Amino acid sequence: MKVLLGAVVLVAVLVWAGTDAVLTGLAAIDAPAVLAALAVGLLGALCAGARWCLVARGLGLRLPFGTAVADTYRAVALNSVLPAGVLGDVHRAVAHGRTDARGLRAVVLERTAGQAVVVVAGLLVLLGHPALLGGLLPGLGVGAVLLLVASRIPRVRSLLAPFLADARRLTRRTALAVVALSLAATAGYLVLFVVAARTAGVTAPVGELLPLLVVALLAMVLPLGVGGFGPREAAGSVAFAAAGLGAAQGLTTAVVYGVLATIACLPGLAVLLRPAARAEPVPC
pLDDT tens per residue, range 22-56: 777 788 899 999 999 999 999 999 999 999 999 99
pTM (two decimals): 0.81
Contacts of 238 (CB under 8 A, 6+ apart): 135, 215, 247, 250
Q: How many CB atoms lie within 10 A of CB 138?
A: 9
Return the closest-CA partner of residue 221 out of 103, 86, 95. 86
Query: Which segments in the chain show pLDDT lower than 70?
Result: 1-19, 21, 84, 135-144, 146-147, 150-151, 156, 223-228, 273-284
Return the closest-CA partner of residue 102 out of 69, 57, 143, 142. 57
Return the closest-CA partner of residue 192 out of 46, 80, 36, 73. 36
